[in-house]
Structure 1
Amino acid sequence: MLTKLFGSYRFSTFTGILILSATWVIPFIAHHTPVCTTPSPANMPLYNSIVSLFATFPRQQILTWLLLLFTAIYLNQLNSIHHFISAQTYFPASLFIILTTGFSHPYTLTPETLILPLLTWATAKIINSFKSDSLSYSFFDASFLIGIASLIYFPAILFIALLFIVLFFFRTFQWREWLYTLMGISILYGLVAAFHYLCDWPVKPWANAISMSFSTPRHFSFPSLWQSLFATMVVVLLLAGSFRMMQFIQSFKIFVKKIFMLWFIFFLVSVLLLFFSGLQPGILLPACIPLSYLFSQHLSTMRTKWLRELFLLILIALLVTIHVV
């Protein structure tokens, strides 16, 4: 039943995703305590500016909901275009919503939430480059998008490493693609510096935010027992999905194999963010992007239907409990 509700490729499933994505409203119903993020010197100035525009309830919550929903739909659209999951399914969108709302406080506008669409769009640019071995300008676009993400949340600059790893392992050497990768982020930061110079704005807030992003206390703990249980369930699915992927990845087409390797590298870079910010609200959101694809592939090819239903039931039950208790 849950598989049909959240995994099948039909309009009723999309309606279910909309309902599932609205779980952010549960804390307000249960506790009647609207929570809003406020600007802080520890955050990048661009993020503080966005937060100031959406500083009141419910504008901040609506923006957060729209960002998560847009990213979920875009993830599903990527699979519809490139067909790297075995079946046409809404599992990527459904699982992304479940993971993000389980690992974070989706009713607060964290910097990680804002960069999700940018990172997804940048990765889509890289996937497009896999279609041909000829010179691709996609790396400039991806670098520029990652640069914008780093202006919102500076540790996101680590995803530049993703581009160079792809260039080294998955592309035939073309020095212009390496140059485009460097130019994308360099031009963006050059424009920001020039704008501040022309407007006579101080760059010290940027420097302070960048330095503080590398000196944040690293606390690895979940705020509640239910989130710890949710994380344990995700780890179980991660191990099961990884084992199944290692069994079948050699049978995939080269294009599909490259895409899943790309998502694996994306996941590793996402894990690196933990060493800069610790286990803060929202820090695991970027990792939810590749995990949603891994779990989708695992669940859509799982032969034991009752076990698949059990996994989904436990995840959804824990998700609701996290936001109610």
Structure 2
Amino acid sequence: MINQFRKLNPINLLLLLAYTFFMRIVIFYEMPAQLNFDFLEPFARLMINIDLDKAFSPSTNIFFASVLVFSQALIFNRIINNHNLLSKPSFLPALMFITGASLFLPFMVLSPALLCNFLLIWLIDKFLKLNKSLNSITTVFDIGMIIAIGTLIYFPFMAMLIMIFLSLMLFRSFNWREWIAGLIGFLTVFFFLAVFYYWKDNLSSFYQIWKPLGNKFPSVFKINYNDYLVLIPVALIIILASLQLRENFFRSFISTRKGFQMLFFMFIIAAVSFYLKPDFRTWHFLLCVPPGAVLLAYYFSNAKKRWFYETLFLLFIISVQYFLFV
């Protein structure tokens, strides 16, 4: 299967579509009685107040979630191939993206994090372009606005502001205009939101938006470890990929090395940003899928022993399906 997706064969598009729905068999088999979908944060509903819970039945919700994941996988695949992060162009990034977006049942329904993944993929493209631009002020300003829009959808997306400064340190020499351009882009969106709150004579509520920024990082976690056993094969593949990346690190292009460093930081920030949402759900970790999928794809793109990597991926899929059903 891996060998098939190592090629840019058009038939892989149909295989990916079938694979997307195959990985969601369990949720179609055990259809939830009701699914809630709030596609905006409460503070943004003052401008756009649409109730989609009644518009989407559970089956419609799951179907559209599958279509969105498939669409994201294709966009993501094109971006990774365009920036030459892997040894050669392939459909492996899309395959790993769909697999990562199918690890848990909460990943398979419409959620704010799923919508934000479109913006996160766009950000990855923007960040990787920083190294190729003579003047990145406009690009960084756009990045700030994208993060602000994502924050309206899902508040923890604001943590991606940190990525602006980390990426500028990785890809650019210091230019104070670029460093503030991202913040200005972010604040521009919220300036218009503040004006709207003021117009509605509700400015005091606008200040409440920022309360989660004062949350302390939790020191105690309540985790049911049985729910996360499926991450064992993921961790194994990531370890193998890290060893392989380390071996090839100094033989890679500088832009490739910096790209993987940027994706590593993005993965960490996406994971820890859950603390900005006290009532966060498991689907929050969908934000980790794009940067994580690149590392998984890197391993399978460079692995040499076919019998081993094909068997490893097959066991990975079997374990995902097993833990989803049990």
TM-score bucket (shorter structure):
0.7 to 0.9
Please give the alpha-carbon distance, in whole angstroms, between the structure 1 residues aligned to 2:322 and 2:49.
Answer: 31
**Counterpart in 2 of 1:312?**
313
The alignment partner of 1:93 has SS state of: helix
1:110-149 aligned within 5 A: 110-149=111-150
1:270-281 aligned within 5 A: 270-277=270-277, 280-281=281-282
**Counterpart in 1 of 2:223?**
221
The AA in structure 2 aligned to 1:315 is F
Question: How much does 1:299 deviate?
Answer: 1.0
The AA in structure 1 aligned to 2:74 is I
**Counterpart in 2 of 1:284?**
285
Please give the alpha-carbon distance, in whole angstroms, between the structure 1 residues aligned to 2:4 and 2:34.
Answer: 31
Question: How much does 1:276 deviate?
Answer: 4.3
The alignment partner of 1:8 has SS state of: coil
Distance 1:47 1:9, change over 3 A: farther
Contact 2:137 2:178 in 1 (8 A): yes
The AA in structure 1 aligned to 2:69 is L
State the superposition RMSD in angstroms. 3.0
The AA in structure 2 aligned to 1:69 is F
Question: How much does 1:203 deviate?
Answer: 5.9
**Counterpart in 2 of 1:33?**
32
1:66-85 aligned within 5 A: 66-85=67-86
Question: How much does 1:297 deviate?
Answer: 1.1
Please give the alpha-carbon distance, in whole angstroms, between the structure 1 residues aligned to 2:71 and 2:201.
Answer: 36
Please give the alpha-carbon distance, in whole angstroms, between the structure 1 residues aligned to 2:213 and 2:178.
Answer: 32
The TM-score normalised by the length of structure 2 is 0.87
- CA deviations on 1:195-242 (whole Å, 9 max, x unpaired) are 2222445663882685399479764525x83x5231111111111111
**Counterpart in 2 of 1:165?**
166
**Counterpart in 2 of 1:240?**
240
Please give the alpha-carbon distance, in whole angstroms, between the structure 2 residues aligned to 1:113 and 1:216.
Answer: 24
Question: How much does 1:91 deviate?
Answer: 0.8
What residue ranges of structure 2 are gaps of 5+ in the alignment? Answer: none
Greater shift, 137-146 or 194-203, is seen at 194-203
Contact 1:24 1:107 in 2 (8 A): no
Question: How much does 1:251 deviate?
Answer: 0.8
**Counterpart in 2 of 1:257?**
257
Question: How much does 1:63 deviate?
Answer: 3.3
Contact 1:24 1:65 in 2 (8 A): no
The AA in structure 2 aligned to 1:52 is D
Contact 1:112 1:285 in 2 (8 A): yes
Please give the alpha-carbon distance, in whole angstroms, between the structure 2 residues aligned to 1:47 and 1:60.
Answer: 20
Distance 1:94 1:304, change over 3 A: same
Please give the alpha-carbon distance, in whole angstroms, between the structure 1 residues aligned to 2:27 and 2:143.
Answer: 37
Distance 1:46 1:216, change over 3 A: farther
The AA in structure 2 aligned to 1:254 is I
- CA deviations on 1:68-111 (whole Å, 9 max, x unpaired) are 22221111011231222102111111111111111452342222
Report sequence identity in percent: 20
Question: How much does 1:28 deviate?
Answer: 4.5
Question: How much does 1:47 deviate?
Answer: 7.6
The alignment partner of 1:10 has SS state of: coil
Distance 1:212 1:83, change over 3 A: closer
Question: How much does 1:186 deviate?
Answer: 0.4
Distance 1:18 1:246, change over 3 A: same
Question: How much does 1:271 deviate?
Answer: 2.5
The alignment partner of 1:298 has SS state of: helix
Distance 1:324 1:72, change over 3 A: same
Please give the alpha-carbon distance, in whole angstroms, between the structure 1 residues aligned to 2:315 and 2:63.
Answer: 27
Distance 1:28 1:285, change over 3 A: closer
Greater shift, 277-286 or 60-69, is seen at 277-286
Distance 1:178 1:153, change over 3 A: same
Aligned residues: 321
